[in-house]
Amino acid sequence: MRRRALLGAGGAALPAALLAGSPASAHRARRWVHTWVAMPQLTEPGNMPPAPFTGESVVFADTTLRQTVHVTIGGPQVRVRFSNAFGGATLPLTAAAIGRPADGRAGVPGVAPGSLRPLTFGGRPGVAVPVGAQVVSDPVTLPIQAGENLSVTVYSAAGQASRNLTSHPGSRTTSYLIKGDFHASPTLAGAVGVDHWYLISGVEVLASAPALAIVGDSLTDGRGSTTNGNDRWPDQLFARRQRVAVLNQAAGGNRVLDDGLGPNVLARLDRDVLATGGVDRMLIFEGVNDIGTAPATVAGQKQVADDLLFAFEQVVTRAHARDLAVYGATITPFGGNTGYDDPAGLREAARQTINAAIRRGRIFDEFADFDVAARDPALPRQLNPAYDGGDHLHFNPTGYSALTATIPLSWLTA
């Protein structure tokens, strides 16, 4: 039997391998650790770059793309990962740079004067990323502080000769596009803003801190949070204790069992968690999309509940084989949501079945009871009105804050 976690900000013991104060954790050597990630996805037609940056058969031809990311832990050196996981052709990056955004703000086109550093790839200014691959830049000396924003700029002369493009649509952060090579320019006058990330999948720093990877759907990706506000619940979790990198590997519409907007959890576990540098623990908060898209029948909901519980066990088995601690969270209410809630309450019953199994403490090493934190005390099958983002499924920033308050700080102990 796995140990049961406590509801609240503290009190849960870490697995023995992760106990703070051990010689291994106290003298952990610096190595490359992810400080920010975005789960790569195939870009839907409605999330493609606007014209003229998307042509009939080429994307980003003669285009500069500037994006900001909110890192967690800091370090003296940094490097960036570019992904062509879903590209339909080789991704040619002519030049790239990293720096600090103007005034340190997220979602701005300007870069602080003097902060831009060129990115190189094996000493070369550009790189061609093969289909399905990712490329890591050479290290750059740029001291990074915990919780700051960074600006990443790329220029592609030829563009990608395919409309199959890798992105993360749910960025909740504004990126900027402009024709021509302006990757080394501190300003982008006339640039077009879009609230998506493209091509970037990770930022790494040289650090001694470990990392927590969070696997989730739109509730973790931050639907209902503030654009350019960095107030998703993983952002707010990191702000509570800045000792462990917090990596948001979530995507809207994601499911555990079947592909949705991006690969299912069982398919992406290796890429997004087990192969992510620095990760020694993970948290999974998923399942509502599986329940909500399964048939609202007794047989359909029993099947999805059984399959989800087995899938969670599979995640734990595979993560434990790599010596990762695995935390879980109960599924939050969706009563009143159009599409997911059903008159007979069969999907609610499946949610209760899964949450009861999580609370018994036999699935995850430890758990946080997001359900208790989020529900309306008077109507437990619905969200607390103070936390409801408006559709009775997603949260507002106050609701996301309530989720973070349930997580023991020991989960963020280095």
**CB-based contacts of 321: which residues, under 8 Å, 6+ apart?**
none
Amino acid identity for residue 148 in this structure: E
Q: What percent of the chain has pLDDT over 70?
A: 93
Q: Whole-angstrom Cα distance, residue 90 to residue 339?
A: 39
Average pLDDT over residues 268-272: 98
| Alpha-carbon 345 to chain mean position | 31
Q: Work out whether the CA dihedral 251, 257, 260, 265 comes out positive or negative.
A: positive
Q: What is the pLDDT of residues 184-226, one digit of tens each?
A: 999 999 999 999 999 999 999 999 999 999 999 999 999 999 9
Question: In the prediction, which pLDDT does 414 show?
Answer: 82
Q: What is the DSSP string of 295-337?
A: -SSHHHHHHHHHHHHHHHHHHHHHHHTTT-EEEEEPPPP-TT-
**What is the dihedral angle through the alpha carbons of 254, 252, 228, 93, rounded to the nearest 10 degrees?**
70
Question: In the prediction, which pLDDT does 24 show?
Answer: 43
Q: What is the pLDDT of residues 291-309, one digit of tens each?
A: 999 999 999 999 999 999 9
Question: In the prediction, which pLDDT does 200 show?
Answer: 98
Instruction: State the DSSP H helix or E strand holding residue 192, giving kind and residue range, or none if neither.
Output: strand 192-194
Of 231, 263, 237, 256, nearest in space to 363 by CA:
256
Q: Name the band, by pLDDT with cuts 50, 70 and 90, for residue 277.
A: very high
Q: Name the band, by pLDDT with cuts 50, 70 and 90, for residue 5.
A: very low
Residue 238 has pLDDT above 90, yes or no: yes
Average pLDDT over residues 264-269: 98
Q: Whole-angstrom Cα distance, residue 66 to residue 50?
A: 15
The structure tokens listed for 215 are 């696997």
Residue 14 has pLDDT above 80, yes or no: no
Q: Whole-angstrom Cα distance, residue 25 to residue 29?
A: 9
Q: Name the band, by pLDDT with cuts 50, 70 and 90, for residue 20.
A: very low
Q: Whole-angstrom Cα distance, residue 347 to residue 390?
A: 20
**Mean pLDDT over each residue of the chain, to the nearest integer:** 94
User: What are residue 314's phi and psi, to 5 degrees?
Assistant: -65, -40
**What is the dihedral angle through the alpha carbons of 36, 42, 47, 50, rounded to the nearest 10 degrees?**
100
| Alpha-carbon 142 to chain mean position | 24
The structure tokens listed for 308 are 């989800």
The structure tokens listed for 73 are 């832990």
Helix residue ranges per DSSP H, 321-378:
346-359, 370-374
Q: Name the band, by pLDDT with cuts 50, 70 and 90, for residue 28.
A: low
**CB-based contacts of 45: which residues, under 8 Å, 6+ apart?**
none
Of 319, 305, 324, 197, nearest in space to 256 by CA:
305
Q: What is the pLDDT of residues 53-76, one digit of tens each?
A: 999 999 999 999 999 999 999 999
Q: How far is CA 155 from CA 45, 59, 137, 188, 204, in A?
A: 22, 12, 14, 13, 21
Beta bridge partners of 222: none
Q: What percent of the chain has pLDDT over 90?
A: 92
Q: Does the domain formed by 16-29+208-412 have CATH 3.40.50.1110?
A: yes
